[in-house]
Amino acid sequence: MKIIILVTFLTFSTSCSTIDYEKNSKLIKYTKSSILSVHIGYEYYLNGKLMDHPLQFSDGVIDIEKDYKLIIQKIKDGNQFSNVKIDFPAAEYELELNIIFKNESNLALAFISGVTFTLFPSIIDSDLEIQGILYNRRLGIKSKKIIASGKMRTYFGILQLIYMPFSNSSKNRELLISNLLNQIMNDTEL
């Protein structure tokens, strides 16, 4: 397991990625005077195995903190609610988000990439799925579950340094989460 962590660490320093998602333009507005409480859950999979801690293959805690800030800011920018807070029990609305990362990686290719100091590139395919349910606590009703999904392919290697200014995997991850969150917020109806 330590070798996988080491190889992954070495390859994350030089990476670029591509993303793919569906776009949607429907927009539902709620009263701007209401407060939204957001509850976020995470699941991380690597080659079909549920990881018990995201730090096993990523910058886990840093990514989660960035995601929380990004999600809160994105919802505030949407002007659908007057205030957005994490797990706030007095809010009229609650948005439950489940963020599921399913990563597929060829461990042999990752090992070869690490041994050659990323001269031989490695690839990780990530399927990102965000599931959202909006609750109106005052009326006791909830929306149907909305699922938005997208894909991200991350390339690791020295040769990708040329493309990094144009396709930074961290920025693409934020873009993918932002667009999927917009899709969730646009499709959610009470």
User: How far apart are the C-alpha atoms of 27 and 187, rounded to whole Å?
Assistant: 7
Which tens digit of pLDDT belongs to each residue from 127-163?
A: 999 999 999 999 999 999 999 999 988 887 877 666 6
Structural domain includes residue 70 = yes
Question: Within 10 Å of residue 38's Cβ, how many Cβ atoms?
Answer: 21
Residues, the chain = 190
For 132, half-sphere exposure in the C-beta direction (CA atoms, 13 angstrom radius) is 24
What pLDDT does 37 receive?
A: 92
- How many structural domains are present in the chain? 1
Structural domain includes residue 2 = no
Q: How confident is the model at residue 67 (pLDDT cuts 50, 70, 90)?
A: confident
Structural domain includes residue 135 = yes
Q: Which residue has the higher pLDDT, 162 or 9?
A: 162
For 169, half-sphere exposure in the C-beta direction (CA atoms, 13 angstrom radius) is 23
Q: Which of 79, 77, 73, 72 is nearest to 95 (CA)?
A: 72
Say which CATH number the domain at 132 has. Answer: 3.40.50
Structural domain includes residue 5 = no
Bridge-based pairing of strands 141-142 and 146-156 is: unpaired
Give the 3-state DSSP-derived string for 6-55, with helices as H, strands as E and coil as C: HHHHHHHCCEEEEEEECCCCCCCCCCCCCEEEEEEEEEEEECCEECCCHH
Structural domain includes residue 63 = yes
What pLDDT does 186 receive?
A: 84
According to DSSP H, which parts of 13-159 are helical?
Answer: 60-77, 107-115
3-state DSSP: the chain helix, strand, coil percent, rounded to 5?
A: 35, 35, 30
Structural domain includes residue 146 = yes
Structural domain includes residue 110 = no
DSSP string covering 163-189: TTTT--HHHHHHHHHHHHHHHHHHH--
Structural domain includes residue 3 = no
Question: Is the pTM above the cut of 0.85?
Answer: no
